[in-house]
Amino acid sequence: MKLTKLLGLASLVFALPLFAQQPTLTVYTYDSFANEWGAAKPLAERFEQRCQCKVQFVPFEDGITMFNRLRLEGKKSKADLMLGIDQFLVPEAEKSGLFIEHNQPLDPLNLPQKWQSKTFYPYDFSEYAFIYDQTKLANPPKSLQELVEWQDLRVIYQDPRTSTVGRGLLLWVNQIYGEQAQRAWQTLAKHTVTVGKGWSETYGAFLKGEADLVLSYTTSPLYHQWYEKENKYTAAPFSEGHIAQIEVAGILATSNQPDLARQFLRFLIESESQKIIATKNIMKPVIQGEIDQALSQMPDFKPLNAPQVEQATIKKWLAEWQQAVSK
């Protein structure tokens, strides 16, 4: 018995250096991806089984907040990967010089638009939409203009300065209204319940009954169908069309684990990983193939292409939005 214990202790001592040598992949992401119901934990567990490493997710309120933190950290950042900005922030992120090329194949990708970035790699997408409860709102708006004009509708959306979802609405409104966008914001402000910093906060307020509609994604009702067996929540189709958000990941130039980070990017578009992301992050997969029957049976939403906009234009739009909602 003593010999057995000694042998066991010896094997543990020899194993300790092996554990100590395991690299850690640090991934900055947003809170709904990293919370206890999100995709981060099952993805980390699955990747750790093959990489002999540790995956550490560091959550932030939203993608823009996360990106701003990385800009502040600069060369001192401990992050290896940033996961959770979208295609509309890609030009600004590429100009920051904080990221290196992903070196990943583009052929497997199946997206609403052709992907060309050599720096950021997609892992999911969905269209922006306003979600409502069919049992409480019998006559939902059929267009973005109706949503803006109907003063008896209580609306919640996200701050475009801190939230990628809110930034999507900024693009959406300016795409539809053009030079009349500021007037639209002023009209919408009159029946906006709150503008939250991030998606989790605002969607939670909507579920508590604080608003008739909340800005989210066309895929959001799937969460309630999958996990609550509830079909009362739905996305309102708008006649002008819906802008799609493509979420992406990028490797930090300061990463000590660039090869491991690239391995993780390849892992993210594997079929099993895409299923985890689709069913936990409630978004659409970026590869072809059957991921979940409910996804393939979703109704079609009219697409609306949003062109890439220069940062100066975004700043101008943000200033107009802020001025409109502060009145």
pLDDT category of residue 20 using cuts at 50, 70 and 90: low
pLDDT category of residue 293 using cuts at 50, 70 and 90: confident
- Distance between CA 35 and CA 137 in Å, rounded? 30
Same domain? For 194 and 319 the reply is: yes
Is residue 166 a part of any domain in this protein?
yes
Same domain? For 60 and 33 the reply is: yes
Terminal-to-terminal C-alpha distance of the chain: 79
Q: State what percent of residues in the chain have pLDDT above 90.
A: 86
Is residue 82 a part of any domain in this protein?
yes
β-pairing, 54-60 vs 24-30, is parallel
Q: List the domain range (segments joined by +) for residue 267.
A: 24-124+245-297
Q: State what percent of residues in the chain have pLDDT above 70.
A: 94
pLDDT category of residue 119 using cuts at 50, 70 and 90: very high
The stretch 152-170 carries a mean pLDDT of 96
Is residue 1 a part of any domain in this protein?
no
Quote the mean pLDDT of the chain.
Answer: 92
Same domain? For 44 and 182 the reply is: no
Same domain? For 217 and 312 the reply is: yes
Same domain? For 183 and 230 the reply is: yes
Same domain? For 116 and 55 the reply is: yes
Is residue 6 a part of any domain in this protein?
no
Per-residue pLDDT of 169-219, as tens digits, reads 999 999 999 999 999 999 999 999 999 999 999 999 999 999 999 999 999
Is residue 17 a part of any domain in this protein?
no
User: Using H for helix, E for strand and C for coil, what is the string for the chain?
Assistant: CHHHHHHHHHHHHHHHHHHHCCCEEEEEEEHHHHCCCCCHHHHHHHHHHHHCCEEEEEEECCHHHHHHHHHHHHHHCCCCEEEEEECCCHHHHHHCCCEECCCCCCCCECCCCCCCCCCEEEEEEEEEEEEEECCCCCCCCCCHHHHHHCCCCCEEEECCCCCHHHHHHHHHHHHHHHHHHHHHHHHHHCCEEEEECCHHHHHHHHHCCCCCEEEEECCHHHHHHHHHCCCCEEEECCCCCECEEEEEEEEECCCCCHHHHHHHHHHHCCHHHHHHHHHHCCCECCECCCCCHHHHCCCCCCECCCCCCCHHHHHHHHHHHHHHHCC
What pLDDT score was predicted for residue 296? 82
- Distance between CA 253 and CA 236 in Å, rounded? 41
pLDDT category of residue 292 using cuts at 50, 70 and 90: confident
pLDDT category of residue 12 using cuts at 50, 70 and 90: very low
Per-residue pLDDT of 40-85, as tens digits, reads 999 999 999 999 899 999 999 899 999 999 999 999 999 999 999 9
Same domain? For 66 and 153 the reply is: no
Same domain? For 120 and 139 the reply is: no
Same domain? For 153 and 180 the reply is: yes
pLDDT category of residue 291 using cuts at 50, 70 and 90: confident
| CATH number of the domain residue 67 falls in | 3.40.190.10
What pLDDT score was predicted for residue 7? 41
Number of domains in the chain: 2
pTM score of the predicted model: 0.90
Is residue 3 a part of any domain in this protein?
no
